[in-house]
Amino acid sequence: MIKLNEDKTKNIALIVIAALTFTAVLVYVIARTPSAKEIFEKVANGVVELKCEDAESAQAFGTAVLTDENWTFATNAHIVTHTRLGQPTTFGAFYIRFSFEEEYREAELIKCDTDADLALLRIKDPPKFKPEPIKIGSDKIYSGDTVYAVGNSQNYGISISRGIVGIPLVKIEYENTVRSVIQCDLTITEGNSGGALLDERGRLIGITTFRTKDGAGRVNYGIAYCIPIGDVKSFLNGE
């Protein structure tokens, strides 16, 4: 009888130790901040190169971000439009390319809002794999938060850079329009426009949009301005 009780006690102890070990591992996995490499690998297929063209050989390059499972992508309006005869004009053809592809896929423009500087595109001939939109993050961000920009930097392909939030929300006059944007100490270049601004866990918290210039007209490198995720969601929902 004593032997049976001892065996039962040992079994209970082993179960408790196993449960505690599993809990500790689970807490570690949940709490651990992923590396930049892990974040990039996770979102690489949700951020694409964007090329826009028209019949007059005008061309623009940028980035677009997958927003849903219907192969819909958000980007900046200033990428899908250009100025012709002093008026903003929408490009006639749009092409998207994933990081693993050589050839572009044709896309169509769904809607465009130049005031919000946001546009929506959809691939006409999507890939065979199931799309994985980037998980949406919180609109509550703070100065000093770690952020990542993933985009088509210099039109060389999809890449990642890291920085911090400078000001969570600031009003900036850009091209004669006052915009409420996130200011980040973050390097972006030509081609990053329309790309993903991610938090430290790889969740989408904005769309990278523009850089400013100094009094002499020189680009202020290392400072990026991004459209907050709340404004992006309002645009996607037609608000």
Residue-level pLDDT at 27: 43
Residue-level pLDDT at 9: 62
Spatial CA neighbour of 182 closest among 224, 226, 230: 226
**Long-range contacts of 162-170, Cβ-Cβ distance < 8 Å, separation of 24 or more:** 162/36, 162/186, 163/187, 163/224, 165/141, 166/223, 167/143, 168/141, 168/142, 168/143, 169/228
Q: Are residues 224 and 184 in the same domain?
A: yes
Residue-level pLDDT at 210: 92
Whether 146 and 202 have beta carbons less than 8 Å apart is answered as: no
Amino acid 61 reads: F
Q: Are residues 52 and 119 in the same domain?
A: yes
Q: Which of 61-65, 117-121, 159-163, 177-181 has the lowest mean pLDDT?
A: 177-181
Burial 164-185 (b: 16+ CB within 10 A, else e): ebbebeeeeebeeeebebbbbb
Q: Which of 100-104, 117-121, 201-205, 217-221 has the lowest mean pLDDT?
A: 217-221
Total domains present in the chain: 3
Residue-level pLDDT at 88: 77
* Mean pLDDT, range 175-195, rounded to an integer: 92
Q: Are residues 154 and 207 in the same domain?
A: yes
141 in any annotated domain = no
* Mean pLDDT, range 64-91, rounded to an integer: 90
14 in any annotated domain = yes
Give residue-wise pLDDT tens across range 25-76.
Answer: 444 444 579 999 999 999 999 999 999 998 777 899 999 999 999 999 999 9
221 in any annotated domain = yes
CATH number at residue 172: 2.40.10.10
Question: Which carries the bigger pLDDT value, residue 96 or residue 25?
Answer: 96
138 in any annotated domain = no
Whether 181 and 228 have beta carbons less than 8 Å apart is answered as: yes
Question: Which carries the bigger pLDDT value, residue 78 or residue 17?
Answer: 78
130 in any annotated domain = no
Is the pLDDT at 199 greater than 50, yes or no?
yes
Q: Are residues 80 and 6 in the same domain?
A: no
- Cα–Cα separations (whole angstroms), residue 16 to 5, 20, 73, 96: 16, 6, 48, 53
Residue-level pLDDT at 11: 65
Give residue-wise pLDDT tens across range 109-126.
Answer: 999 999 999 999 999 988
Residue-level pLDDT at 26: 41
Residue 24 confidence class, pLDDT cut points 50, 70, 90: very low
Q: Are residues 152 and 227 in the same domain?
A: yes
69 in any annotated domain = yes
Rounded to 5 degrees, φ, ψ at 15 are -65, -45
In the chain, pLDDT over 90 holds for what percent of residues? 67
pTM to 2 decimals?
Answer: 0.85
Sign for the pseudo-dihedral over CA of 161, 76, 145, 42: negative
- State the residue range of the domain holding 167: 146-236
